[in-house]
């Protein structure tokens, strides 16, 4: 009888152990992107300067970036407008910093992220609508309009903070009118940056671009989503060198 019991234990123990470990040991990290927790109408009602767009019958797009806390509060919002309507830009930034977002999550835990998105003010027949799009449109041809772009996690090393520690230039993050360094990467389903490379940079900023590239390699992200599923997706880190005085800084 002892032999039978011993034999059974030898046979069943590995299978039982594997069954116990499989769900946890090999489970994939679950990600959830930060998202708007307000409607476009709310934005239109609070940005008074968009009233001037009523007679234009066109779409006016702002490219924006916000730090979203683990509570969903927005801060450090920056918006860029190709048309240069600074009144709309400044007022939209202020309003966005006062509105609530849904925070990002990693395995059910809320985490702070840096979110890039577009606000499209559309005027037609005397009415203005605001369309909120969770990406900057760089992957439109591949994924359509409504994909969710990768979001840099701020609870771990983030590229701009790492870059700022080592740069002599202190360029500003995100889009601007000055010279820029643009570093491209592919963020995989695990939130890591692969195939990091320099897209373009001025001759004076090659050293600075290398700092950005090395910092992006260390960053972690909420991956991009298409139809609710994480997919490998392009990401571009941008540093612009335009100062408040309108002149460019240099790293020479």
For 136-146, the pLDDT digits (tens) are 999 999 999 99
**The two three-digit tokens of residue 156, written as one number:** 């771990």
Phi, psi of 115 (to 5 degrees): -110, 130
Domain with CATH 3.30.2420 in the chain: 28-134, 155-252
Helix axes 159-166, 206-218, angle to 10 degrees: 140
CATH topology of domain 155-252: TolA/TonB C-terminal domain (3.30.2420)
Band the pLDDT of 171: cuts 50, 70, 90.
Answer: confident
> Is 53's pLDDT higher than 70?
yes
Band the pLDDT of 16: cuts 50, 70, 90.
Answer: very low
pLDDT at 27: 57
Burial environment of residue 190 by CB neighbours within 10 A (0 to 12, 13 to 18, 19 or more): middle
85-89, 104-108, 117-121, 143-147: which range is least confident on average?
85-89
**The two three-digit tokens of residue 100, written as one number:** 């609530």
Using DSSP's 3-state secondary structure scheme, residue 46 falls into helix
> Is 219's pLDDT higher than 60?
yes
Band the pLDDT of 59: cuts 50, 70, 90.
Answer: confident
pLDDT in tens, 179-202: 888 899 999 999 999 999 988 887
pLDDT at 217: 93
Phi, psi of 134 (to 5 degrees): -80, 40
pLDDT at 24: 42
Q: What is the mean pLDDT of the chain?
A: 84
CB atoms within 10 A of CB 117: 24
Using DSSP's 3-state secondary structure scheme, residue 38 falls into coil
Which of these CATH numbers, 3.40.50, 3.30.70, 3.90.25, 3.30.2420, describes 28-134?
3.30.2420
Q: State the average pLDDT over residues 80-85.
A: 84
CA–CA dist 31, 127 (Å, integer) = 37
Residue 116 pairs with which residues in a beta bridge?
A: 65
pLDDT at 117: 97
- Record the pTM: 0.82
> Is 210's pLDDT higher than 50?
yes
Burial environment of residue 141 by CB neighbours within 10 A (0 to 12, 13 to 18, 19 or more): exposed
pLDDT at 186: 96
Q: State the average pLDDT over residues 147-176.
A: 86
33-47, 94-108, 109-123, 232-246: which range is least confident on average?
232-246
């Amino acid at each position: 009888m002892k032999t039978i019991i011993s034999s059974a234990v030898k046979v069943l123990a590995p299978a039982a152990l594997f069954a116990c470990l499989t769900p946890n040991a090999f489970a994939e990290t679950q990600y959830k992107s930060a998202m708007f927790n307000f409607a476009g109408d709310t934005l239109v009602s609070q940005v008074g300067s968009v009233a001037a767009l009523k007679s234009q019958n066109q779409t006016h797009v702002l490219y924006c970036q916000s730090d979203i806390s683990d509570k969903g509060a927005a801060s450090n919002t920056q918006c860029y407008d190709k048309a240069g309507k600074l009144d709309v830009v400044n007022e939209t930034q202020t309003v966005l910093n006062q509105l609530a977002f849904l925070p990002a999550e990693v395995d059910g835990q809320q985490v702070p992220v840096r979110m890039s998105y577009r606000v499209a003010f559309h005027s037609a027949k005397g009415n203005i609508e605001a369309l909120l799009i969770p990406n900057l449109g760089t992957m439109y041809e591949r994924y359509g309009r409504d994909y969710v772009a990768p979001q840099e996690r701020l609870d771990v090393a983030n590229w701009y903070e790492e870059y700022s520690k080592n740069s002599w230039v202190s360029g500003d993050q995100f889009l601007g009118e000055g010279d820029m360094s643009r570093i491209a990467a592919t963020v995989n389903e695990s939130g890591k940056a692969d195939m990091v490379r320099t897209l373009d940079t001025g001759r004076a900023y090659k050293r600075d671009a290398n700092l950005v590239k090395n910092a992006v390699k260390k960053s972690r992200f909420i991956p991009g989503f298409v139809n609710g599923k994480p997919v490998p997706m392009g990401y571009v880190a941008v540093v612009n060198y335009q100062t408040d005085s309108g002149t460019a800084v240099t790293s020479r």
